[in-house]
Structure 1
């Protein structure tokens, strides 16, 4: 169960309108950041989406978003995917730095940050 701003408890699937799968596959370690459109869109009528938009002014992994907003990981993935489709957030695959490279990337700070965030859960 998730809490609304006024303290009432609601079932997580209500936030996703009953959907259990995101419109596109998003890894739990993918980094989510609010776009300029997401920052200036005004108040979102759905509190979970609004919390994600505010939280991701600094990049956060999907797993961090779920933990901080206190929602199941599946719900977070659905909402983040919806926000990305609407252009409100950008989702970056941290593994993309390794793709197409002849040498392994030397900067592992992004992956270390995700690991550390997951450990704090």
Structure 2
């Protein structure tokens, strides 16, 4: 039983040190929620729990952006930038595609 506690304690210390180092070396823009200094303080003061919090909610993944994803037709800036003629052409294209899809589903045999 003592061996398990020693190994568990050793693993907890390793995780704690790894969490501190990872939090400290990440650029400030990769820290989510609070500032870099506060994250380091959280990880140092709450050894295992702070590390879990850091990896679960504090660390922003590379290439990950928290901004909402917009398709071009959802983006107000995009809509302001296109002309009325382009908007009408896009609507016509979408209506034609919808009609084509509707025709495909009407032609299928739905026997159970």
What TM-score results when the alignment is normalised by the length of structure 2?
0.26
Give the structure with the larger strand fraction.
1
What TM-score results when the alignment is normalised by the length of structure 1?
0.24
Give the structure with the larger helix fraction.
2
Q: Which has the higher contact order (CA 8 A, sep 6+)?
A: 1
Q: Higher Cα Rg: structure 1 or 2?
A: 2
